[in-house]
Structure 1
């Protein structure tokens, strides 16, 4: 029997949460933060988490935020708020990339996204008419399939993106792992713009990379952080522990969130029970819409009572308060 490659260990327990505000106390989106020779950016909520395991903070005793030098001790500081002499501006642009596993097990998910895409975008455009939105699409399968990676350049045309999605078919695959690493790499290589806005990648998948490609995930995470691309994995039917492990790290380390389908969705085959103590279940199109609204507004948008299908555990505005007996592996 082939010995499995150990999952890559990336320490996330030690982190520093930065909050960058303007002189009026408003969150600053895409504030440039220099950590030694590394450049990072705040999200639309003015927040950036720095991880010593990823951001090379060794021997660093200060950071530079928008030309302002800030002394910092990574060993003793867990959270820091910085006020800069700038005025925050509203998000003006959104680059939205879908990276999708198109092997045979993903046919329901592909069909759903193609069907609901226009509705999701129309809702966002109605609420944020001044935001310039571009859409990108990257598809991946695995070696031996009709293609390994196929991509479509960013476009601002909703109808064109909808047609690109609708024209795809899910087939191939066979073994469990797929070319996830190559799909993410191709997505990151796209012509991202949104210099004054938000860059989001939705990774729709149900399988991890091959064992021999696991070591590529940390460099991909670092590249996403370099480019301020926030990854929101959507765990589809068939996601098991190895895939969930990778997808959770992608989300956490790029300032995204790990999203997942449940059997309530009616999409795909049966789904693994989420390994979190609490969560809320809504329709996928509503979830994607809330993610985009949260990114554009800089404030977490929660589900309304009408949207909730069910709630598991004690959930309150993104905070989980588990009981002593709950599984808190998240």
Structure 2
């Protein structure tokens, strides 16, 4: 199935040299969807990811040779063409995070695969929807796929909520894009305690999201907080900060607990004085799962939640948008309008 009157050429932004973060706008042929899972999607907006322009240099094995270097791994848009067996049809409004090895979303049309797609939350506009997939998938999978909370607790499943109620969860960087979503998910699933590590300026927001305990990093380290009271130890840590903060999380996690980070390897930062063994300690990357995004969309629509947006820029300002993200000057997501 296909939308009629598709253009033959489109505007697309390329990273021509993987060693450089400079981008260039070009006019290129519209991509062709050919595989049984491939959809041509008209992009409405996309959001840069921190470090994205260095991935090919830092993780070369993940990328095919001579790939088409179009950045932008999360976006929202409208299905233009879909394969016959697809659950999605032309005209469907979707949001997604695509695998980084594929050409991205910083162009007017791109190819998205069935497994990556979900209908966008009805309560989010295009800007908000484009800023949501990566952060929510990371938080969701950190708690429910990699972590030990049961997602069925969100829907009220009694056994799941009984299980979750026995667990204490610590989320570092709780005022950031991933951490804030993790607070909402953990609280909604019925975690026995949701500990948020954040700054003074974010305490009220963290409590609104469901935090039951606060560690103000401007006043106290995680290690000092944990050592004040042995009962503060947690069963699960989802670290969104890395570095010294991740190292301190070893003081807070219980023996045989789970320590996850989206930033770095917990084992590499394990203090020499720590002797406890954990059931799991790992750095993980989120998976581009449309099925998870479908559940997340339902969650967002039911609760009227919104992503953190730093700023919105026009398509032609793509370089400034990426520079701001790379320089860590953004508080929340920077969104690039492609066709709004």
TM-score range, shorter chain: under 0.3
Q: TM-score, normalised by structure 2?
A: 0.22
Larger Rg: 2
Q: TM-score, normalised by structure 1?
A: 0.23
Q: Which has the higher helix share?
A: 2
